[in-house]
Structure 1
């Protein structure tokens, strides 16, 4: 049974049991408690960047030294390629004042260029801010 912390994470991100969540740009600085919480709530291991099947959501750990806005746009396009209709992409970036901080406007610009829009931001983890990106409906 998920703990209270797991339930709070599931509520923030909207993850539910059985969902497949693909993870991009995993590194040693990611929030392991958040990762483990997502896996406990979904009951599935996070799929890595090479996963080629349909996913329900994606999380991207993005830091300023991972690249520029064009690189993030390309990554968002890649993340959306496996995404089931209605799935979300969450971009997690270091909070203000922490190494690797990314401006929200940079994430929003990359999202727009990838055909997405930002719909929410949440306190993703101790050192990470999460921005929810939604793929625009086709024909919009």
Structure 2
């Protein structure tokens, strides 16, 4: 069991704050329930699922080797994403079932119109932060 302080730290590491709209995709029996609870506590509500039609600030995508084509999935997850939104691809760490090579995430981001900006450790999971590049018209 992860200590409450550690779990809250997960939400902070993900940059998740109160009031954000978060969509969660790829949930399964192996996902980290403490991380999920920390995110919901931080935002003050439940995360949305794949059926939402709301614009979201963050997509948490639980992804494992064998889940399919990551480029296709990323193209799907950016549809409801706000202009300044973030996609976190959460994968099992090295040595765990379903581990995904970090290079695969980076290589899949570009054709989906995303850029990987950082990676973090979240217990038995790793998080890769993907963002949409800023367009010249939006930069000042």
For normalisation by structure 1, the TM-score amounts to 0.90
Aligned length, in residue pairs:
134
Q: Counterpart in 2 of 1:50?
A: 51
Q: Distance in 1 between matches of 2:106 and 2:136?
A: 20
Q: Counterpart in 1 of 2:40?
A: 39
After superposition, the C-alpha distances for 1:96-135 in whole angstroms (9 at most, x for unaligned) are 01111100000111101101111010002x2110000011
Q: Distance in 1 between matches of 2:30 and 2:83?
A: 30
Q: Counterpart in 2 of 1:97?
A: 95
Q: Counterpart in 2 of 1:132?
A: 129
Task: After TM superposition, give the deviation of residue 139 of structure 1 in Å.
Answer: 5.7
> Do residues 121 (structure 1) and 119 (structure 2) align?
yes
Q: 5+ residue gaps in structure 1?
A: none
Q: Counterpart in 1 of 2:29?
A: 28
Q: Distance in 2 between matches of 1:139 and 1:23?
A: 30
CA contact (8 A) 1:19 1:44 kept: no
Q: Counterpart in 2 of 1:66?
A: 67
After superposition, the C-alpha distances for 1:35-86 in whole angstroms (9 at most, x for unaligned) are 000000001201001111101100100000102xxx2111111111111111
Q: Distance in 2 between matches of 1:5 and 1:106?
A: 28
Q: Distance in 1 between matches of 2:77 and 2:64?
A: 16
> Do residues 82 (structure 1) and 83 (structure 2) align?
no
Q: Distance in 1 between matches of 2:63 and 2:7?
A: 23
| SS of equivalent to 2:66 | helix
Q: 5+ residue gaps in structure 2?
A: none
